[in-house]
Amino acid sequence: MALTKVGRMEDKEWFSKFRELFFSPRLEEVNIDEAIALKYRYIPRKLFKYREFGEYSLDNLKNNTLWCDSR
């Protein structure tokens, strides 16, 4: 695992390490606690989804509503 200048792994490296720890075919190599700690170190604290402006988004703003979808 190569570290960047700030001591963090590149995106592909940390995710590869996460998969090794979480999904290893050998039970003795599975380390769920370390995998979760690694995940929380690299995922963003907040996620945003932007959508195009249109009739529905304007209606949501006017009516103080939110559209949720489980797709």
Residues 32-70: tens digit of each pLDDT = 999 999 988 888 888 777 778 888 888 988 998 887 777
- Structurally, the chain folds into a number of domains equal to 1
Its domain, for residue 47, covers 11-63
Instruction: State how far the Cα of 22 lies from the Cα of 59, in Å rounded to an integer.
Output: 43
Q: Is residue 31 part of a domain?
A: yes
Residue 9 has pLDDT above 60, yes or no: yes
Instruction: State how far the Cα of 16 lies from the Cα of 1, in Å rounded to an integer.
Output: 10
Instruction: State how far the Cα of 22 lies from the Cα of 27, in Å rounded to an integer.
Output: 10
Q: Is residue 42 part of a domain?
A: yes
Residue with tokens 């509503």: 65
Query: What's the pTM?
Result: 0.49
Q: Is residue 3 part of a domain?
A: no
Taking 3-state DSSP, the helix, strand and coil percentages for the chain, each rounded to the nearest 5, stand at 50, 5, 45
Beta-bridge mates of residue 3: 9
Q: Is residue 29 part of a domain?
A: yes
